[in-house]
Structure 1
Amino acid sequence: MVTKQLLKGLPEDAEPAHAGAHGLVERTLHPTVPPQVEYTLTEPGRALRTTVVALHDRTHQYVVG
């Protein structure tokens, strides 16, 4: 599940709703007060996981050191 906490510091277009428009995540709205929204990866989103993790690791290596 993707939460706002995990997205802190990411660019605006990295929001799960934006990824949903591309079919990478699925949005589930729970009818609670306050409303709770849950995002899960779709099959195409899961297929990109290896690539995204590799990019993250490589970037982290150069940015953080």
Structure 2
Amino acid sequence: MSLKTSLILLIWGIALLTSFAFRFWGFIHPDSFLIRPWLIFLLLFGPSFVIAFGIFVFGFREADN
């Protein structure tokens, strides 16, 4: 399996786990969800930081070889 495929599967897996975690949280706590700024920041910019990290670390490693 190539590195790009592994990275895509990792990101999809994290997204699915996050989605199931929020659904489970909603079943346990049915009242309205209090939105915190750090949570929005994490959900909005977290995936792009993970992808950028993978590109910088693994992309430059492949370019050197």
Q: TM-score, length-normalised on structure 1? A: 0.35
Q: Which has the higher strand share?
A: 1
Larger radius of gyration: 2
- Which has the bigger relative contact order, CA under 8 A and spacing at least 6? 2
Q: TM-score, length-normalised on structure 2? A: 0.35
